Amino acid sequence: MKRYIIPVVFFLAVATAQAQTSQSFTVGKWIEVHNAVLKELSRSYVDSLPVDRMERAGIDAMLSSLDPYTVYVPEEEQENFTMMIGKSYGGIGAIIYKPDVQGNVIINEPYADSPAARNGLRCGDEIITIDGESTHGLTSQQASDKMKGKPGTTVVFKVKKLRAGATWAAGDVIEVPVVRERIHLPDVEYYGMLNDTTGYIYQSGFTEGVAEAVKNAVLSLKAQGMRRLVLDLRGNGGGIMQEAVSIVGLFVPRGSLVVSSKGLDARSNEEYRTTREPVDTSIPIIVMVDSGSASASEIVSGALQDLDRATIIGGKTYGKGLIQSVRPLPYDGQLKVTTGKYYTPSGRCVQAIDYASRNDDGSVGHIPDSLTREFKTARGRTVRDGGGVTPDHIVPAHNYSRITYSLVYSGIIEQYALEYVRKHESIPAVEDFRLSDAEYEDFISFARGKEFDSRSSAKALFDEMKKSLDRDGLTETASAELDALDKVINIDKETFLRLKKSEIVQFIEEEIVVRYYFQAAGIRIRLRYDDQLREAHTLPSAV
């Protein structure tokens, strides 16, 4: 049999070389065609060519035919790209609100210990000018761009103060110079004890340094008596793979395989193992995930599941098993390109089988078991590939009503929170703060005068059905029945707001407390109403 090895190997080598030559020829051909088309257009086209716009559209269209994560980033978009992947930017550290183009910029929410907060900018303060330029006529994005800049530079605001301070009265207009800094939004947004024995960490991303932040949080919680940990990765879209490996390394023996990668380039084929001594290899761990948990979140949850080190609870994860690398391009551009797929310790890939079978939120849709493969965890439990990490215990998240989503996304609750701040100098401590019945009635009065879609899901579906009936010419024949149904499901705005009070209140409370006690306070309010987390407490936390 050995005499056949050399010819077969030779044949494969020739075939591979031919494929590479063919691809090189094809690439060269289209580069030549592209250049010829552009030159001919520049010579012959009747109007002046918008070359920059054409080339950008062409590059974006070309990359969009590959996958959603391979993108071109020109020099002028580097700051936004840095913010997207690193959650950092040069600025003053505040969220702004601009009710209309002709109005002033309002400080909506300064970050804790930010340059804005340290220089006395508070929620409700109005910014009249930025470096001498009026904010009237500026969009919110234009105002934000003027506030950002190179760390170490100074931006000067003319500010109308909402409340009195040590050297000014309420309503005074003062000048506030602020030195910009590199603002990094923390990935560990909150950690604390849920009860006497259960610690909780809410992690929103995987930017540089997050593993160290998680380690410090774990050590702090252990010092407070933690004997069980909840790591909340819900809504965490991922980030740096090495940070995910390091986080898994906090809980498993040194040298454990966390993830492996495979790609076209042999340099992409690599195993990633833990390199440091763990913090705790025995404490029970619950990892909370949902359809927004993607990429590095799936590396952490998938590895801890495969190694039988944690119980995964919540909903099926997003299903992104692709690795991106950043490559430099001419004129200081960058290409974020998919270079490989990653595999959890059991050998499964969480990447969705195809990009089309996805839910409205982008997460992986239903995939029959017949299209997936079985893999085994360290203790022999069965897990499957084909798209996302399936939790050990499925616990559905709360399904909020349509009017609640509408209030949040239309900004009505945010606007009310600003009004609330203007009327209240202070509020009780976070654990004691509750929106009173009278205050909720005040919110109803506020919302009543605002434009937003207050229809129920049934009413929205009914309206779409009527449009279809109109198109088919059937409305008149069913008018009596339609009118009767409309009367049943058409709830007026105030009645619907009172009916859904129990779920709307939590969003109002969260928006209010962050104005007084910053972001971590909002997460504490969120935990107060977290039925999914509460149910997770009742489930076994060891597999």
DSSP collapsed to 3 states, 245-300: HHHHHCCCCCCCEEEEEECCCHHHCEEEECCCCCCCCCCCEEEEECCCCCCHHHHH
Single out the residue in 136, 158, 184 at which a domain terminates: 184
Q: Is residue 18 part of a domain?
A: no
Contact 115, 178 (CB under 8 A): yes
pLDDT of residue 2: 47
| Residue 527 covered by a domain | yes
Contact 402, 456 (CB under 8 A): yes
Q: Is residue 540 situated within a structural domain? A: no
187: its two tokens: 């990935």
Q: Please give the pLDDT value at position 354.
A: 63
Number of domains, the chain:
3
Residue 321: strand, helix, or coil:
coil
CATH code, domain with 236: 3.90.226.10
- Sign of dihedral through CA atoms 273, 276, 281, 284? negative
| pLDDT score recorded for residue 7 | 53
Q: Give yes or no: residues 108 and 225 share one domain.
A: no
> Domain for residue 506, yes or no?
yes
Domain extent for 236: 188-324+339-397
- Supply angle C-alpha 284, 288, 292, rounded to 5: 155
The residue among 249, 250, 195 whose CA lies nearest residue 219 is 250
pTM score of the predicted model: 0.88
Same domain, 344 and 283: yes
Do 245 and 279 share a domain, yes or no? yes
**Averages of pLDDT over each 10 residues, the chain, 543 residues:** 49 54 81 89 89 91 89 84 78 91 89 95 96 93 94 97 92 97 95 97 96 98 97 96 97 97 82 96 97 96 98 95 89 90 94 66 66 90 90 94 96 95 95 97 96 93 92 88 90 95 97 96 97 88 53
CATH of residue 111: 2.30.42.10
Instruction: Return the half-sphere exposure (C-beta side, CA atoms, 13 A cut-off) of residue 225.
Output: 5
218/345 same-domain check: yes
Same domain flag for 433 and 348: no
Q: HEC states along 170-228? A: CCCEEEEEEECEEEECCCEEEEEECCCCEEEEEECCECCCHHHHHHHHHHHHHHCCCCE
What one-letter code names the amino acid at 159? V
Specify if 196 maps to a domain: yes
Backbone φ and ψ of 422, nearest 5°: -65, -30
Distance CA 328, CA 337 (A): 11
Give start and end residues of each alpha helix (H) in 366-411: 402-409
8-state DSSP, 432? G
CA-nearest of 331, 182, 310 to 250 is 310
* Residue 275 CB neighbours (<10 A): 11
Inter-residue contact 187 to 519 (CB < 8 Å): no
User: Is residue 71 included in any domain, yes or no?
Assistant: no
Check whether residue 110 and residue 201 sit in a common domain.
no
Residues 165 and 238 in one domain: no
Last residue in a domain, options 349, 375, 397: 397
CA–CA separation, 155 and 147 (whole Å): 7
- Structural domain includes residue 461: no
Residues 243 and 180 placed together within one structural domain of the fold: no
pLDDT recorded at residue 169: 94
Give the max Cα distance, the chain: 95
Q: What is the rounded radius of gyration, in angstroms, for the C-alpha atoms of the chain?
A: 28
| 262 shares its domain with 149 | no
Residue 260 and residue 342 in contact, taking contact as beta carbons nearer than 8 Å: yes
Check residue 13 and give its pLDDT.
52
For residue 219, the Cα-to-chain-centroid distance in whole angstroms is: 27
Both 272 and 169 in one domain: the answer is no
Q: Given 130, 158, 184, which residue is the final one in a domain? A: 184
Calculate the dihedral angle through the C-alpha atoms of 89, 95, 98, 101, rounding to the nearest 10 degrees: 0
Q: Residue 88's beta-bridge partner residues?
A: 184
Residues 348 and 330 sit within 8 Å (Cβ to Cβ): no
Q: Is residue 50 part of a domain?
A: no
| pLDDT (0 to 100) of residue 543 | 47
Are both 224 and 153 inside the same structural domain? no
Q: Tokens at residue 477, please?
A: 């024949």
The Cα-based distances of 245 to 5, 167, 206, 296 in angstroms read: 40, 51, 11, 9
- Tell me: do 164 and 207 sit in the same domain: no
